[in-house]
Each structure stands twice: as structure tokens, then as C-alpha cells.
Amino acid sequence: MRRLHVLAVTPEVFPLVKTGGLADVAGALPLALRELEIDTTTLVPGYPAVMAALTGAEEVRAEPALFGGPARLLRATAGGLDLLVLDAPHLFARFGNPYLGPDGRDWPDNAMRFAALGWMAAMVAAGGVVGIAPDILHAHDWQAGLAPVYLRYQDGSHQDGPHQDGPHRGGRHRGGRRPGTVITVHNLAFQGIFPAELLSALGLPPESFGIDGVEYYGSIGFLKGGLALSDRITTVSPSYAAEILTPDGAMGLVGLLRTRAGVLHGILNGIDDTIWNPAADRLIASAFSVTRLNRRARNKAELQDRFGLTAGPDTLLLGVISRLTAQKGLDLLLADIGILAELGMQLALLGSGERAMEAGFQAAAAAHPGHIGCIIGYDEALAHLIQAGADALLVPSRFEPCGLTQLCALHYGAIPVVSRVGGLADTVIDANEAALTAGSATGIQFSPVTADGLGGALRRTAALWRDQAAWRKMQRNAMKHDVSWRRPAARYAALYRDLVRERTA
Ligand code: ADP
């Protein structure tokens, strides 16, 4: 089998820069693909955290004027990945969240910042860097959405020469054939929509502003363009792939997505089990495994201590690790927070996001000392301890493309209590009568996603907890569930190979 070469384009990659699940995917998928004869080079923006982590950086291209300033493309390694880094200080030398300024709002020049990423990707894909000849250009989310767009318009009649502050045509494709293009939607809620007036500043030709290009209800849609012009579309679970073909789930893109349903695939995410491995996790108080489950108790004690909860092994401890936004549905828990005391449960919540929700959980913790603990912030180590010490992990999302926290929870024996949507529906086996009889349950699912639905799920959870033998069985099932990248990586590999075959046929 010929080795394939993929150019992955992503605005974040673990362990260098992460705001959510996309970073985990971008960091782990290349490692899993390597064993399947697929090499990945990952193109990322040169944020300060990325620049600081590089080893052996070598300049492979210089652009004197890329969207308003000089830029360099560096080839380097970090975090076990082969990287191309877009070092453009005028766009990316900013600390903190990659998308938001210090006032918590989008950077005003985000269109230019991520157009630069897409443009550079297209240039590399077209053969603009010696020694890199990708078979596949794989763009992740709206921030990379223009990569397949620039690549497509290089192909066609748009032959303008370089212009000073915009992207200009890069190199030549190998044998005149452009690489196959794939775009992955990690969350359709984020689409990268910008004013139409930016079209020429973005270096996009007038003909790109149409129904088959970047035009989106009179504006420019980065994700929309990528979805319209990529050879394949993937999203991160089969259920979410079906949901985004419905008017409710498609977030304004139902027409386009339905016309492209034939090339749309749902491929679940995995987790990196070298980072998430309860038997060798140095971020937790006590390593454990499915055959040494009793060692989990020390993590629970430590977690109760960290969150100021009353010590005790018998109280069901519910964990939450989440962005606090409407998507994640945690306002449903706040709406009826008294239910936790009623059911004799504790809550350890780690999260950050909308101020009102942060304040709501802080107030709940103050009102229920010893029963509700809340830490506002982002803390990777504490996330590990929650997975290792909580008895159950709550994920009540209104929609969830894949979700990673429930996968980690399965692996760490924290029983996931999840809404029946998207990837949550595809990864958790509900403890209904059939599954309990078959001995296959791994968690609790609920629907509809309302405060009542959640209340019902918490009551079922409390009832299951009272049967400790059944609970242990569920925990063991959960920990044996395959959450690795093995199966998902094989599906990406098959998709890439299929596309390469199609394009060379
Ligand atoms: P999303 O990408 O929508 O935020 P996912 O479940 O796909 O949700 O991925 C979230 C990732 O971010 C997980 O790896 C989770 O552990 C991590 N995470 C979320 N919030 C926090 C936090 N406050 N502290 C530490 N890790 C967090």
C-alpha cells in the first residue's frame, strides 16, 4: 500500500493550543494514522504558545506581504507532530484565547487571520513548498474553511497575478492534479461569517461569491465555502451527521448540506489513550484499572477535598467538565439544582464560559456547602482528577457533535449521564431494561433535553447507584468500551484512500 500524505489545517492542536475537542482530534489523529501508512503534516497558526514549543524550526517560505504584514512558513516538530507553522506576528502574536481579544470578543481581524491560514494551506497543497506533496488537504472547522476554496479557485480561470496585500498564486500541483479535499465540521454552530465587502481584500474572485462558493445569505461564510467546495465532508459522529441534515440541526445550511449528503460521513472521535490512561495517569491521586477498581476511591476522596465536599465514599459524586454555554445544557441543572440534595448527590463542576452560568454555579456552591463544589476556569490536570474520582459524569448537551468528555468518562469508569443527541447517543449504551438484562449498559441517556428530562435521568442514576453490584458491572463495561482512535482512524484512512482512488481513476 502506498503511503499517503495528508496536509491537516487546524486553528488549534493539543498540546500546543486548545480551547476544545478539535485540538484533541488534531493532536491525536495523525499519530493513529501513522500506523495505517498515512503521514500527516499539520498546519497551524504561529500563536506565541506554538512558537515557544517548536524544535528544529526551518523556514520553508517567506511572504513579504500576507494580509497586511510579513509572514514566514516554518517547518518544525512539536508534541510528536510534523508541523508547518504560519508565523505571521501581525496576525497571531497575541496571547490567550486564539479567537478572542482581552475584552472577550472576537478579534476584529479574524477574517484576515484565518484567511491567511487557508491561503497558506492552499499554497502548500498546490505544491508551493519543496518536499511537501500532499495527496489530501484536510481542513478542520471554519477557520480552515477557505483552504479548499483558495485551492479550487487556483484551479480555475482566476489567474490574477500577485497583489500586494492579498494571497497570490503559489506553486504547481504535482502532475497538474490538485489534492483531494476534506473538511471536517467539529461544530456547525461556529461558521465564520463576515461582511461581503471583504471579498476582494480576502483575495477571493468575484465568481466565488455565489451559491456554489462562499456566499452565505449575502455575507461571506468561511465554513459554507469549505462545505460547498470540498470533495468530502465529515463530521464527528453518525448521529450528528444525520442531525445536520434536518432544519433544526443544520443551523441555516440545510439546503447545501442536503445537496452534499452523498459525500457526508459521520466518523466518531477517539481519545488519545496515552494521555488518558487511568493505569498510568500522573495527574491523578491513584492509578487504577478495570481489575483494580478499588484504587479509584483515593481519587474520589481527593476530589471531594479539592472541591470542598463532605468526605465519604457512599455519596454519589457527579462530575462536570465543560464549557458553560447554552449548547452544553448545564442551565437545565441550575434550573433545578435542589434535586441534587433531594437525591443525596454531590456535584464537582469545573468549567468556564458565560458569566451568568458561572455566577449561577458559584451561588449554588455557596448555598449548598459540602454538597456542591464549583471551580471556574480551565484546568487540564483537574479534569483528569474529576474523570478519575467522580462516580458519574454529566453531559446534558442540547446538541453535541461528538463530545470527548463522555469518552474519557467511559475509559475512567465515571458513568456518563448524557442527553440522547449526536455523539453522546452514539457512544453511551443506556441502562434500559434490555441493556441491563444483556449486561451491556455503560451509562444513562435521556431525552427530551429539558430540566424534567434531566431530573428523570438523575433519579434513574440515583436508583442504579443503590444497586452497587449493577453499578460496578456498568463501570466495568464502560472501561472496556473501545474509545481509542483505532476504529475512527481506520475510517479516515479508508475515506482518504477512496478519495485518492477517485481522483486518480
Ligand atoms: P467542546 O469541544 O464542545 O468544548 P468536547 O467534549 O468535544 O467539547 O471537548 C472538550 C474538551 O475540553 C475535553 O477534552 C475536556 O476535558 C476539555 N475541557 C472542557 N472544559 C474544560 C475545563 N474547564 N478544564 C479542563 N478541560 C476542559
pTM: 0.93
What does the pLDDT read at residue 79?
Answer: 86
DSSP assignments along 214-254, one per residue: TEETTEEEHHHHHHHH-SEEEES-HHHHHHTTSTTTSTT-H
Max alpha carbon distance in the chain (Å)? 72
Q: Whose CA is nearest to atom 17 of ligand 1?
A: 20
Q: Which atom, in ligand 1's list, is nearest to the CA of 323?
A: 20
Q: Ligand 1 pocket check: which of 378, 386, 421 to mutate, most ligand atoms within 8 Å of Cβ?
A: 378
Tally Cβ neighbours within 10 Å of residue 176: 8
Q: Ligand 1 pocket check: which of 19, 322, 352, 407 to mutate, most ligand atoms within 8 Å of Cβ?
A: 322
Q: In what order do the strands lie in the sheet with 316-324?
A: 372-376, 345-353, 316-324, 392-395, 415-419, 444-446
Q: Which atom, in ligand 1's list, is nearest to the CA of 352?
A: 23
What does the pLDDT read at residue 177?
Answer: 73
Q: Which atom, in ligand 1's list, is nearest to the CA of 395?
A: 6
What CA–CA distance (Å, rounded) separates 377 from 389?
Answer: 19
Distance (angstroms) between ligand 1 centre and the Cα of 459 equals 26
Helix (H) or strand (E) holding 418: strand 415-419
DSSP assignments along 460-485, one per residue: HHHHHHHSHHHHHHHHHHHHHS--SS
Residue 29 confidence (pLDDT) above 50: yes
Helix axes 405-412, 468-480, angle to 10 degrees: 120
Residue 175 confidence (pLDDT) above 90: no
Residue 166 confidence (pLDDT) above 50: no
What does the pLDDT read at residue 1?
Answer: 83
What does the pLDDT read at residue 468?
Answer: 96
Residue 172 confidence (pLDDT) above 50: no
* Shared fold status for 4-270+486-504 and 293-480: yes
Report the range of poorest mean pLDDT among 141-155, 166-180, 204-218.
166-180
Per-residue pLDDT reduced to its tens digit, 181-236 = 999 999 999 999 999 999 999 999 999 999 999 999 999 999 999 999 999 999 99
Distance (angstroms) between ligand 1 centre and the Cα of 187 equals 13
DSSP assignments along 153-219, one per residue: HHHSS------TTS-------GGG-PPEEEEEES-TT---EE-GGGTTTTT--GGGSSTTTTEETTE
**Where are the domains positioned within the chain?**
4-270+486-504, 293-480
Q: Whose CA is nearest to atom 9 of ligand 1?
A: 21
Nearest C-alpha neighbor of 26 from the set 188, 144, 112, 110 = 144
Q: In the numeric block, which cell numbers belong to residue 448? A: 427530551
User: Ligand 1 — pocket residues by CB below 6 A?
Assistant: 20-21, 24, 321-323, 350-352, 378-380, 383, 402-405
What CA–CA distance (Å, rounded) separates 165 from 94?
Answer: 21
> 445 and 426 in contact (C-beta within 8 Å)?
no
Distance (angstroms) between ligand 1 centre and the Cα of 383 equals 9
Q: Ligand 1 pocket check: which of 321, 349, 357, 393 to mutate, most ligand atoms within 8 Å of Cβ?
A: 321
Q: What angle do CA 433, 402, 190 make, to 5 degrees?
A: 140
Distance (angstroms) between ligand 1 centre and the Cα of 497 equals 31
Q: Whose CA is nearest to atom 19 of ligand 1?
A: 322
Nearest C-alpha neighbor of 188 from the set 224, 229, 228 = 224
Distance (angstroms) between ligand 1 centre and the Cα of 299 equals 20
What does the pLDDT read at residue 442?
Answer: 98
Residue 157 confidence (pLDDT) above 70: no
Q: Ligand 1 pocket check: which of 14, 18, 24, 419 to mutate, most ligand atoms within 8 Å of Cβ?
A: 24
Residues 6+ positions from 130 with CB-CB distance below 8 Å: 60
Residue 40 confidence (pLDDT) above 80: yes
Q: Whose CA is nearest to atom 15 of ligand 1?
A: 405
Q: In the numeric block, which cell numbers belong to residue 458? A: 438523575
Q: Which atom, in ligand 1's list, is nearest to the CA of 322?
A: 20
Q: Which atom, in ligand 1's list, is nearest to the CA of 383?
A: 25
Residue 162 confidence (pLDDT) above 70: no
Centroid of chain to Cα 97: 15
What does the pLDDT read at residue 99?
Answer: 96
Residue 504 confidence (pLDDT) above 60: yes
Cα 416 to Cα 232, 282, 313, 463, 471, distances in angstroms: 32, 23, 19, 15, 12
Nearest C-alpha neighbor of 263 from the set 248, 243, 241 = 241
Nearest C-alpha neighbor of 253 from the set 264, 238, 237 = 264
What CA–CA distance (Å, rounded) separates 424 from 98?
Answer: 27
Residue 170 confidence (pLDDT) above 60: no
If one compares 288 and 173, the residue with the highest pLDDT of the two is 288
Reduced to 3 states, what is the DSSP secondary structure of residue 257? Answer: helix
Q: Which atom, in ligand 1's list, is nearest to the CA of 187?
A: 3
Q: What is the mean pLDDT of residues 303-315?
A: 98
What does the pLDDT read at residue 292?
Answer: 95
Q: What angle do CA 27, 33, 35 make, to 5 degrees?
A: 125
> 188 and 22 in contact (C-beta within 8 Å)?
no
What does the pLDDT read at residue 279?
Answer: 98
Nearest C-alpha neighbor of 60 from the set 22, 96, 37, 87 = 87
Q: Which atom, in ligand 1's list, is nearest to the CA of 404?
A: 6
What CA–CA distance (Å, rounded) separates 489 from 59?
Answer: 31
Residue 179 confidence (pLDDT) above 50: yes
Residue 364 confidence (pLDDT) above 80: yes
Q: Which atom, in ligand 1's list, is nearest to the CA of 269?
A: 7
Helix (H) or strand (E) holding 303: helix 297-306
Q: What angle do CA 15, 20, 25 make, to 5 degrees?
A: 60
Q: Which atom, in ligand 1's list, is nearest to the CA of 405?
A: 6
Instruction: List residues bridging with 310 in a β-sheet.
Output: none
Q: What is the mean pLDDT of residues 138-142?
A: 98
Distance (angstroms) between ligand 1 centre and the Cα of 212 equals 34
Per-residue pLDDT reduced to its tens digit, 249-308 = 999 999 999 999 999 999 999 998 889 999 999 999 999 999 999 999 999 999 999 999
Q: How high does pLDDT run on average in the chain?
A: 94
Confidence bin at 176 (pLDDT 50/70/90) = low
The yes/no answer on whether domain 293-480 falls in CATH 3.40.50.2000 is yes
> In CATH, which superfamily holds the domain spanning 4-270+486-504?
Glycogen Phosphorylase B; (3.40.50.2000)
